[in-house]
């Protein structure tokens, strides 16, 4: 297993390649003001994170890097190095757009459940309500400034479709044409907001395609 330092900052950044072609090299970063290291593992097609984490123990980093390099499953990497956080995405070596869409929904649902913000409950309710609606679940989800948006293509080149869905800090839910807008409606429940978003979708949408 070869560790490659970053030429511009060899004491702070390094990478470890994987034997699997559908994994980018694991990124390892040393913190500058305390004894701590961070790792991040991504897939090459979308550049999305599969694993991340921070630790005070350099031996943890070595274990995670070895497992990533050797092609261990994501769950096995976490078992080998418990500091590693699984983002919820799963690996899609063949870049099947339907599976990439399913993976992204799973990441968003897990992320919503892990949030500690005051409006975490409202945001999680919005994500779950959107996922429960077949017309929205069939589209590729992404967020911008914690606003849920949908696309007919996967990353890296998104084709945005339909309105934006927002969970507000007061427990209400907004539907709008733009990121900050809620001009299409403001509702007491996530299900009401999702129902309006479905009605705003253009007709004739086909299956999600690759955005690259």
Q: How many CB atoms lie within 10 A of CB 42?
A: 19
122 lies in the same domain as 23: no
Q: Give dist(CA 159, CA 150) in Å, integer.
A: 8
Distances in Å between the Cα of 10 and the Cα atoms of 45, 89, 99, 148 are 26, 30, 37, 38
- In this structure, the answer to whether residues 164 and 206 fall within a common structural domain is yes
The model's pLDDT over 97-122, given as tens digits with 9 standing for 90+, comes to 999 999 999 999 999 999 887 677 89
Residues 6+ apart with CB under 8 A from 199: none
Q: 163 preceded by cis ω (within 30°)? A: no
For residue 93 the two structure tokens come to: 């070596």
Residues 82 and 142 in one domain: no
> What is the total count of domains within the chain?
2
Let me know whether 42 and 143 are in one domain.
no
Lowest mean pLDDT among 60-69, 70-79, 170-179: 170-179
pTM (predicted TM-score): 0.92
| Last residue in a domain, options 86, 116, 131 | 86
What is the tens place of the pLDDT at every residue in 124-180?
999 999 999 999 999 999 998 889 999 999 999 999 999 999 999 899 999 999 887
Range of the domain at 81: 3-86
* 43 within a domain of the structure (yes/no): yes
């Amino acid at each position: 297993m070869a560790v490659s330092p970053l030429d511009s900052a060899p004491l702070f950044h390094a990478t470890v390649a994987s034997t699997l072609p559908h994994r980018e090299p694991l990124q390892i970063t040393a913190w500058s003001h305390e004894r701590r290291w961070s790792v991040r593992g991504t897939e090459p097609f979308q550049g999305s994170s599969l694993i991340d984490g921070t630790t005070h123990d350099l031996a943890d980093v070595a274990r995670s890097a070895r497992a990533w390099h050797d092609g261990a499953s994501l769950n096995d990497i976490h078992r080998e190095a418990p500091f590693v956080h699984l983002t919820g995405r799963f690996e899609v070596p063949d870049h099947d757009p339907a599976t990439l869409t399913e993976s992204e929904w799973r990441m968003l649902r897990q992320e919503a459940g892990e949030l500690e913000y005051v409006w975490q409950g409202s945001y999680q309710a919005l994500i779950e309500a959107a996922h429960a609606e077949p017309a929205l679940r069939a589209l590729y989800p992404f967020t911008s400034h914690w606003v849920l948006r949908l696309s007919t293509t996967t990353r890296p080149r998104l084709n945005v479709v339909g309105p934006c869905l927002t969970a507000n800090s007061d427990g209400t839910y907004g539907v709008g044409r733009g990121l900050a807008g809620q001009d299409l409606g403001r509702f007491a429940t996530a299900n009401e907001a999702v129902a309006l978003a479905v009605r705003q979708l253009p007709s004739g949408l086909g299956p999600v395609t690759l955005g690259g």
